[in-house]
Each structure stands twice: as structure tokens, then as C-alpha cells.
Amino acid sequence: MVNVTIFRGTAGEVAVSLLSPWVFFTATPIAVLFFIIGLIAGLMGFANSQWLGMFFGLLATGFIVGRISLSAARGNPAAGIFDNSVSHGEALQYAIRYAVLISIVGLIVACLMWLLTKNIGASLFGMMNLMAVAAMGFRGVAMIVVMFLSMLAVIASFIIAIRVDRVTDLFSMEAWTWLIQERPGDFFAFLAVLSGGMTLFYFVYSIPIVVVIAVAFAMHAGLGTFMVAFIYLLMLAVAVVHLGRLCGMFVTYDWAISAEPSGSAGDPAPHLATVSSAASKQVHAATAKVTTNPIGDPVSPLTPGFSFDDVVAKVRATAADQLETEVNRLKETIKTNPADIGASVELTLTYKKMNKDKEMREEAAQSLGLLIAMEDMDSSEKLFHGLGKDRMHTPLVPEDKIALGQYLMTNGQFLEGGVLLYAGMKVNDAVLAEKKVIEVARAAANAGKSKEALILYQQLLKWDPNSNFADFIKDAILSLQSGQ
């Protein structure tokens, strides 16, 4: 059976999206930013050093790629830099992680190149002539190898920076073994689509670009010169957009199924199989108290004045030195009223802003339990996706997994919906859970999302290789692969 992964098909779609004229609208503000960054680099004297100028350019690119890749990772393959779902703080944290990686790579490459070129005085651009470098013999070959590996390291750094949440995680073996051992085929597919997508873009738009430049020169020589410089920056911006989208899509499905079995084949994951905890039961009990009055009449299903978007804005506006104070205040509020949705959601998002993952997941389970019990599924979905890659590790009770999974499936998010439905239903009936995932996979295929259907079928075989439906699932996988 051909090993078709979800990323490889999606990556092709990202490459094709470059052919849309809308990509120019996405890339234009980035080109303007590059122009401003170039001015700053010139004023700071970076332009006088080829290596320092290139290093500064890579650092500046990190923030832009961060905004695009974080948006793409949340399911937006046409991501740009103005996605409201990504805060400046998140993009800055990504840029910091990338800066750490690229600084280490730059230091290693600089030392190696100094050793290889200290007696020949080769320049950066002189080393771009591979034939001339190869003519230097063993030293030239070593230089080419270093340049090739450094390019791979730079690209890998973009991916690892979005895979992890903290700077300390950059130095863990988990992130790098994930890329090198679990996703090597996808990484080379990433490189192929990155270069192939840009080649396709240049092929399609080369003639219109040449015509625009020719018209500009015909109107005025100065305008023509400006247009050449702007087109150069625009092409660079398109490449950055393409890179960011690919980085995001590289991890988005990985996040969605990050709760796949880590133990026995029949266990969907310890995180997703969590049974009702005392805290969760307390939340549901508290919810029951506020949804009916003493004589049993229903009351308002939401905390008065609650707005998920307002809570998000409030947390974003909270200064870093006030976060701990806010946590203590919110804890006291929830202690007094465990069913206060606003306080619970605000505490979850505050923990996220503080990078307290464990506390965030625990409180998110409470928040989602309340929102689902109040049937505010729109806010539940927003909060769920706002948790980022930790969303599939939130210790929801089975009933909440089923409710949220059903809502996601109904709204076309078949992959995450199917995983949640399986995890929630398997607790009581494994066979029924498998039937439900097959139903979700069929719905995904009928909706034109064959890649999500494919990965659901593949996950089912991983969860239960001895499934009663194994033959049917294998036939479905072959059918989907033959249709791609």
C-alpha cells in the first residue's frame, strides 16, 4: 500500500493556492515591511556585512512567518499576516523561538565557514558559484555540504519553532525526533513543494510581471527602477507566505491527531480517555444548579453579559505583571461560584498567556464543560481551537467529548470531530465508537475532504488493528488513495 500522508496532499493544495491573484494582496503588505526592514538594516550598518545582513533578514522574517504559520496551523490554508486569531504576542514568542534556533545554526555555520575559508577569503556570494567552490577540492566539497545542511537547518527551524511552545522545548529530543524519525518523508515533501510551488508561481506570473515592468519603464525610468525593486520584494514576500502556510499545515493535522494511541492499540490516548474527575463532576453539578430555579423553571443558559470575544480581548489587554494577580482573583471568584463561565474561560486564557500548560488544560476542561452544558457550542469551539496543539489533550469527560465532537463534525471539522467522538464513545462501546468514526469518515469524503477521511480510516486501524471492520476500512483507504 502506498504511504500517503495527509500533509502531502494538503501541501499540494497550498502550492496551487499560490496561483490565485489574491496572493499578491496577501504579499504586498509583507513586501512593504521588508522595505522598512531593509531601511532599518541599512541605517544600522548591517548592509556592510553580507553574513550579518542575511542573519538580520532571517530574524526579521521569523515574526512574519510566525503569524502566517500559526494561522495556517489553526486550519486556514490561505493564511496571511492579518489573521485576528493570532495575537502579536504569539507571533513574537514564535519569533523568539526561531531566533534562538537560527542563532545557534548561524554560530555553528559561521565557525565552520571560518575554518574552511580563513586562508582564501571567500565571500558569501562568491560561494554561491558551486562549480568554483567545488574546484577547491575537499575544502570546497565541505563548504558545499555545510551550505546545504545550513539551508535544511534554517527551514527545519521554522517548523520546530511552531511545533514547540517554549524555548526550553527547543532543546528536547522529542521535537527533533518527531521531525527526523516520524516525519522525514513529509519534510522532504515540504522541501519539494516549497521549491516547486515557487517555480510554478514564477512560471505562471513571469510574463505579466515582465509586462508591468516594461510599462513602468515606458512611463518613466525612475518608475521602472522602483517597480523592479518592488517586484523583487514582492516575490520574496510570496515565498515567505508560501513558507509560512506550509509550516502551519505541516503541524495542523499533527495537532489534530496528537492524542493517538500511546499505549495499547485499543486506547485512543490517556488524555482523551479521561473519565469524570471530581472537579468535572463539581462543574456539572454547579451547572445544573444555575440552569434551573428552585421550582424547576429554566433560567438563562449563559452567565449574564458573557461574551467569549470580550474575554479574549480582556486577557490580551492584561499586562504581564498583572497576570498572577488576575489568576488569584479568578480562582477566588470560581471558588465562590464554580459555574461562572466568564471567570473560568478568562482563567483558562490567562494560564495560556502565562504558558502554564498543565493548569490551562485542567481549567479548559472546566470551561468547556460549562459551555457545553449551557449549549454555547460556538464559544466552545472558539475556546477549543484557541488552546492550540494542547486542545486534544484537554481532559474532557466522555459526554463533553461526544458533544463537542458532534458539533465539530456538523460544522465540517471531520478530523478532530471524529477523534473526539471515538474517544468519548469508546469508554462505553468500542464497536459503536468505530462505527461512528466510519460514519464521520464517509461524511468527510462526501463533503470533498477525502484527506481527512483517509487519515480517520488510517487512525482507526492504528487504534484497533483487529477491528471487525478492518477489511472495510482497508478497502476504503485504497479507494481514497486511488482517487487522489
Interatomic CA distance for residues 40 and 427, integer angstroms: 58
Interatomic CA distance for residues 398 and 403, integer angstroms: 9
First to last CA, the chain: 14
Segment 106-139, tens digit of pLDDT: 888 888 877 877 655 555 445 555 566 666 667 7
Segment 138-192, tens digit of pLDDT: 777 787 788 888 889 989 999 998 888 788 888 888 788 888 887 888 888 899 9
CATH of domain 260-275+397-484: 1.25.40
Interatomic CA distance for residues 141 and 129, integer angstroms: 12
Look up cell 571560518; give the residue: 114
* Backbone region of residue 107 per phi and psi (left: phi > 0; alpha: psi in -120 to 50; beta: other values): alpha
Interatomic CA distance for residues 65 and 365, integer angstroms: 31
Q: Which of 432, 71, 53, 468 lies closest to 247, judged by CA?
A: 71
Q: What's the grid cell of residue 343?
A: 471567570
Segment 312-371, tens digit of pLDDT: 888 888 888 888 999 999 999 998 888 889 999 999 999 888 878 888 989 999 999 999
DSSP state of 275: P
Q: Are 433 and 402 in contact (CB under 8 A)?
A: no
Q: Are 6 and 454 in contact (CB under 8 A)?
A: yes
- Mention every residue, 6+ apart, whose C-beta is less than 8 A from residue 233: 31, 34, 35
User: pLDDT category, 299, cuts 50, 70, 90?
Assistant: very low
Segment 2-26, tens digit of pLDDT: 444 567 667 777 888 888 888 888 8
- Mention every residue, 6+ apart, whose C-beta is less than 8 A from residue 399: 424
Domain boundaries, the chain: 6-256, 260-275+397-484, 280-394
The neighbour count for residue 376, using CB atoms within 10 Å, is 19
State the burial class of residue 267 (Cβ atoms within 10 Å of its Cβ: 0-12, 13-18, 19+): middle
Segment 177-218, tens digit of pLDDT: 888 887 888 888 899 999 988 998 999 999 999 999 999 999
Q: Cα 438 to chain center, whole Å?
A: 26
DSSP 93-118: HHHHHHHHHHHHHHHHHHHHHHHHHT
Interatomic CA distance for residues 479 and 20, integer angstroms: 30
Q: Are 161 and 94 in contact (CB under 8 A)?
A: yes
Position 238 scores a pLDDT of 92
The neighbour count for residue 218, using CB atoms within 10 Å, is 10
Interatomic CA distance for residues 172 and 164, integer angstroms: 10
Q: Are 408 and 417 in contact (CB under 8 A)?
A: yes
* Percent of the chain's residues with pLDDT above 70: 78
Q: What's the grid cell of residue 59?
A: 530574524
Position 261 scores a pLDDT of 36
Threshold 0.95, pTM exceeds: no
Q: What are the distances in angstroms from CA 441 to CA 266, 408, 419, 461?
A: 19, 13, 11, 13
User: Looking at this protein, which amino acid is placed at residue 155?
Assistant: I
Segments in 21-87 forming alpha helices (H): 22-43, 50-73
Position 128 scores a pLDDT of 53
